Structure 1
Amino acid sequence: MSGAAAAGKPPVFDADFLRAFDALLRWRRDVRRFRPDAVDPRLIETLAQAAALAPSVGNSQPWRFVLVESAARREAALASFLRCNAAALEAYEGERARLYASLKLAGLREAPVHLAVFCDHETAAGHGLGRATMPETLDYSAVAAVHTLWLAARAHGLGVGWVSILDPAEIAAALDVPQAWRLIAYLCVGYPQEEHEDPELERAGWQARCGVAFDRR
């Protein structure tokens, strides 16, 4: 990338940058195995600032970040995961159930940072622009912030795990957030124990990555 951006001109993303960006996308992983090393709080702030550059419907910026530092609240998240994970296991049978039970699906015990991301459904920012016909775009905006944070974390050598096997109502209650906030993601953040280009679920035999094909109409 050229230095033109510093002079107020749009940057030129050269071939080296594009190769590095492609590598960033390929090496972004859902991490469940973390080292216990502490993460500098300033780095987490840097990631949040990067996430705030994500697109949002009507410039609503509805994302709300909650650092979960209380041991009791972390335990509540873990308890919710354990209950929901046990219930999810019951939906499978035979070999698929055995495989599911063998998977490590969260790093809640090991991750030094727990970060909950909510969408504020009562935000006044944006004045409702763009979401009258598709109100779900408010949630999609928060999802875009999560993905932006995820890529930024990988670029800084951190791993992120998105824990979706949780009861959103239990998490909202445990964190005592405003009623209008909807849980979008509960993230574990820290330095990964190991790094792989292929997803862990693919290595474990659960599901291979699917290619992309256009449906032409």
Structure 2
Amino acid sequence: MRHAFDPAERAAVYRAIHERRDMRHFVPGAVEPTVLARLLDAAHHAPSVGYMQPWRVVRVTSAVTREALRGVVEDERLATADALGERREDFMKLKVEGMRDCAELLVMALMDGRDAHVFGRRTMPEMDLASVACAIQNLWLAARAEGLGMGWVSLFDVDRVARLLGMPGDARPVAILCLGHVEAFYPRPMLESEGWAARQALHLYEDRWPAEPARDARRDSTAAAD
């Protein structure tokens, strides 16, 4: 195809996509400032609805703030475990973050004043969040290409993190990102290896959403008769 990358470049893009992992285990070593700058630049070149570029990044350099954030995550980890019922013990065995060990801790957030951006958001205001997710994905893939691991931590109380980082009232933290060197990348997603979940088949529909199978209706009527 006329505008395609050459085969080696294409292979590298797909390799980064397929070998990206949500990392929770890190080894000592700083991220070079030039590398960190490249990663943040990759995030900043993500697509955004209405070109609003709603991402804001807080780089956490204070050990006190890092530990405070970890405390917020730990509180939510315990609350999540309690909410999982019969899967509580399985969940508690999982390592869900590497906040103490990672070289860099970043908080990706939604900007304040988002309501002023109407282009692309009038009927779907959540497109600002989708745009931030694109920035996180860019950062993740670039980190994998640089040989660095990244983990997305989403177990936290949004308001507590916002207050801790001094965010304006209409800004919102989306992700705590652990970034750093790793001994090795997981061969498979960790939650898959741990038996928590399996990769699903792609749900691809043509033209319209498929109708509910008639057999479901039959099963319901049989159950009612019982």
Per the alignment, residue 19 of structure 1 pairs with 11
3-state SS, counterpart of residue 151 of structure 1: helix
CA distance in 2, matches of 1:65, 1:157: 21
Mapping for residues 62-73 of structure 1, pairs under 5 Å: 62-73=54-65
Sequence identity (%)? 39
CA contact (8 A) 1:32 1:104 kept: yes
TM-score by length of 2: 0.86
What is the CA distance between 1:11 and its match in structure 2? 5.3
Asked if 1:118 corresponds to 2:109, the answer is yes
Aligned length: 206
Asked if 1:175 corresponds to 2:165, the answer is yes
Structure 2 stretches of 5 or more lacking a match? 209-226
Asked if 1:37 corresponds to 2:17, the answer is no
CA distance in 1, matches of 2:47, 2:147: 24
CA distance in 2, matches of 1:124, 1:131: 9
Per the alignment, residue 7 of structure 1 pairs with none
Determine which of 122, 131, 140 is the counterpart of 1:132.
122
CA distance in 1, matches of 2:190, 2:13: 21
CA distance in 2, matches of 1:61, 1:211: 32
3-state SS, counterpart of residue 150 of structure 2: strand
CA distance in 1, matches of 2:107, 2:182: 19
CA distance in 1, matches of 2:124, 2:85: 38
CA contact (8 A) 2:151 2:179 kept: yes
CA contact (8 A) 2:112 2:169 kept: no
What is the CA distance between 1:134 and its match in structure 2? 1.1
Determine which of 89, 95, 106 is the counterpart of 1:98.
89
1:168-208 Cα deviation digits (max 9, x unpaired) = 11111111122221111110000123212310111111111
Per the alignment, residue 198 of structure 1 pairs with 188
CA contact (8 A) 2:149 2:181 kept: yes
| Residue range with higher mean Cα deviation, 83-92 or 14-23 | 14-23
CA distance in 2, matches of 1:124, 1:91: 33
CA contact (8 A) 1:55 1:141 kept: yes
Letter in 2 for 1:77: L
Letter in 2 for 1:197: P
CA contact (8 A) 2:104 2:180 kept: yes
Calculate the aligned-residue CA RMSD, in Å.
1.7
1:111-145 Cα deviation digits (max 9, x unpaired) = 111000111141598x5312111111111111110
Determine which of 47, 51, 63 is the counterpart of 2:39.
47
After TM superposition, where is structure 1 displaced by more than 3 Å over at least 4 residues in a row? none
Per the alignment, residue 213 of structure 1 pairs with 203
Per the alignment, residue 78 of structure 1 pairs with 70
CA distance in 1, matches of 2:115, 2:91: 42
Asked if 1:155 corresponds to 2:145, the answer is yes
CA distance in 2, matches of 1:178, 1:209: 38
CA contact (8 A) 1:60 1:124 kept: no
